[in-house]
A and B are shown apart, each in its own frame.
Chain A
Amino acid sequence: MDFFPAALQLTAIFIFLTGVLSLAGLLTWVERKQSAVMQDRIGANRARVFGLRLFGLFHILADALKMLTKENFIPKNADKFLYQIAPVISIFFALIAFAAIPFGDVLQIGGYQIPLQGLDINVGLLYIFSMLSIGVYGVILAGFSSQSNYSFLGGLRASSQLISYEIAIGSSIIGLVMIYGTLNLNEMVRVQGRYFWGWLPAWGIVVQPAAFFLFLTAAIAETKRIPFDLPEGESEIVGYFLEYSGMRFGLFFLTDFLETILVAMLAATLFFGGWQVPGLAGDGFHFANAAWPLPSIAVTLLGVASFACKTVFFCWFLMTIRWTLPRFRYDQLMRLGWTMLFPLAMANIVVTGGVMLLLNR
C-alpha cells in the first residue's frame, strides 16, 4: 500500500471522528437549548467568557471542566476493576462502531482511490449491530459492579431491554437487506442511487417505509433515551450509573449521545441514501432536461455534505422525539418490543419476499 493514499484516508477518518466527537459534545448543548426552545424557555445561557455568551455554547466547556475536576467516587464494596472499566467499554464500542459508516463515496485524487470509510467490510451492518450489542456490557457491568441496588436494577433493565430490541432492530432491516442484496454499507448506499420512473430516488424509505418506523423505534430503544430510558429511569432508580461521578459518568453520558449520532447515521445510510444527493450522478447533476457537470472531487464532497446534513437532521429529529414523548412503563416496553415490533418486522419480511417474488416473475 502506498503511503500517500493511506495518509489521505487516515486524514479523512480523523476528520470524520473529530466531527463525530464534536457533534456529540454539541448535542449536550443542543439538548438543553432545543428543549428550551420547544418549551418556550431560554435555556442555559449563563456561562460567559470575556462577556461573550454565544447562545450558551460555553456550557459545553463548563460541563467538561466540571466533569474533569470532580471527585471520581468509587463505592466501598464495588468491584474496583469492573467499576472502572465499565464506562470505557461503553464508550469504546460506541466509538469503534463508527468505523463501518460510509461517510462519502470513493474519493478520487490524482489517480488514487480513497474510500471515505474506516472499515470497508462486507458485513458492515452486522459489525455495527454487534458493536452496539457488546456496548451493552458496559452498562450491565456498571450496574453489576457498583454494589448498589438501584444501579443493579438499572443494569438488569438495560440487559433485558437491549436484548429484546436487538431482535426487533435486527429483523426490521432484513427486508432492506433482501432488496439491496448486500450487507456492505457502501454497496447499500450505491444501490440507493437508482431512480424509480426517472425521478424518485430508490431510497430505503421509499422501498421499505414500514421497516423505517420499526427500525427507528427499535434504534431509539437501543440508545436508551426517552421514551425508552428505563435503564436510566431518572425519577425512580436514577439508573445504572447511579454511583458514578466525574468523567466516568461523563463517558456514559457521551456514549448516549454517540449512540444517538450512530443511529442518526444508520438511519441516513440505510433509509435516506447515505451520501447520495438526488439528481447527482458521478459526473454532475442530471435533471429531466438539464445537466450541470461537476468534477469528481466536488461530487464526492457534496456527498459528504449531504451525509452530514442528513445526520444532523436525524439528530434533531431524535431530540424532538426525546423531548416530546413520555416514558414507557416497563411492561409496555416489553409488550411493544415483543408483541408489536418483532411480529411486524417478521410480517414485513414476508410481505417483502412476496412482492419481490411477484416482481421478479
Chain B
Amino acid sequence: MATIQVQRKQLNFWERIYLPEIFRGLAITSGHFFRNLLFHGLRAFGLKQFRGAVTIQYPEEQRPLPLRSRTRHRLTQREDGSPRCVACMMCETVCPALCIYIVAKEVPDPDIEKAPASFDIDLGKCVYCGFCVEACPEDAIRMDTQILDIASYSREGMMYSMDDLLHPEKHANRILVDPKRP
C-alpha cells in the first residue's frame, strides 16, 4: 500500500513557547474587531461605502444567483397572456420524478391546435433536474424565476397549478424576473 510521508513543520523556539504566537493571533482578531467596529460606526453615520460585515441578511436580501441556476418553474406566456404550452406532453414524459400532470384541451386556432386545460407541478416531488426545460419544443417552461424559498405547511401546498406557474410572483417573496418576458 502506498504511503505518503507528511513532513510536519518543525516549530521554532518562539513558536514553541506559544506566547508570541498568541499575541499574533490576538493582533489579527483585534485588528478585524477594531476595523469592523470603525466601519460599522462610519456606516451608522451614513457613509454607506464602508461595510463592517460580509453578512447577507437572508429573507430581506438575497445573493444574486447565477443566471443558469435551476430555480422554481414558470410557464411562459404569449402576447395575449395565454400559456405558450401546446400540451405536447414532452415534459411529462421526460420527467424522472413524475411530478408534472398535464390535461390537454383543443383550441380553435389552427396554428396552435392544443393547449393545457390544467398544468400542475408537484414541487414536493420535483428533483430540479431541468429535463422538462430541455425537452420543451416551445420554450414554454423555464426554471429561471430565481425563487428558491419554496415551503408549505402541507403536501397539497406544494402542488402548483397552471395559474401559479404562469404568475410566479404570486407565491414569491420578491420578483426577479418579469413573467411576461418571452
Contact = CB atoms under 8 A, between A and B. Distances in A.
Contacts of A37: 32-33, 36-37, 40, 52-53
Nearest to B36: A37
Contact of A325 (B25, B37, B54): B25
Contacts of A42: 53, 55, 57
B69 interface: no
A42 B30 CA distance: 16
Interface stretch (A69-77, A228-236, A289-297, A316-324): A316-324
Contacts of A84: none
Contacts of B53: 36-37, 40-42
B129 interface: no
Nearest to B34: A37
Nearest to B55: A42
Contacts of A40: 32, 36, 52-55
A321 B33 CA distance: 12
A320 B29 contact: yes
Contacts of B2: none
B52 A320 contact: no
Interface residues of A, number: 14
A34 B26 CA distance: 13
A34 B37 CA distance: 9
Nearest to A36: B53
Highest count of chain A CB atoms <10 Å: which of B19, B30, B33, B55:
B33
A349 to B, nearest CB: 20
Interface in A27-48: 34, 36-42
B22 interface: yes
A41 B54 CA distance: 6
Contacts of A34: 33
A321 B36 contact: no
A112 interface: no
B52 to A, nearest CB: 7
Interface in B135-151: none
Contact of B30 (A36, A39, A41, A320): A320
B9 to A, nearest CB: 17
A99 B122 CA distance: 66
A116 to B, nearest CB: 32
A70 B57 CA distance: 28
Contacts of A39: 32
Interface residues of B, number: 17
Nearest to A37: B36
Nearest to A34: B33
A40 B37 CA distance: 10
A45 B53 CA distance: 13
Contacts of B26: 320-321, 324
A325 B19 CA distance: 12
B19 A38 contact: no
A313 interface: no
A28 to B, nearest CB: 18
Interface string A95-127: 000000000000000000000000000000000
B17 to A, nearest CB: 9
A219 B21 CA distance: 20
Contacts of B36: 37-38, 40
Given A42-B53, A324-B26, A213 B19 contact: yes
Contacts of B55: 40-42
Nearest to A321: B26
Given A40-B54, A41-B54, A42-B55, A320 B22 contact: no
Nearest to B26: A324
Contacts of B52: 37, 40
Nearest to A227: B22
A182 B53 CA distance: 49
A37 B26 CA distance: 14
Contacts of B57: 42
Contacts of B32: 37-40
A39 B37 CA distance: 11
Interface string A311-341: 0000000001101110000000000000000
Nearest to B33: A38
B29 A323 contact: yes
B54 A324 contact: no
Contacts of A320: 26, 29-30, 33
Q: What 9 pairs across the A-B complex have the smallest Cβ distances?
A: A42-B55, A324-B29, A42-B53, A38-B33, A37-B36, A324-B25, A38-B29, A40-B54, A38-B32
Interface of B: 19, 22, 25-26, 28-30, 32-33, 36-37, 40, 52-55, 57
18 contacts: A36-B53, A37-B32, A37-B36, A37-B53, A38-B30, A40-B32, A40-B36, A40-B54, A41-B53, A41-B55, A42-B55, A320-B29, A320-B30, A320-B33, A321-B22, A324-B29, A325-B22, A325-B25
Given A38-B32, A40-B53, 14 more contacts: A34-B33, A36-B53, A37-B33, A37-B37, A37-B40, A38-B29, A38-B30, A38-B36, A40-B36, A41-B53, A41-B54, A41-B55, A42-B57, A213-B19
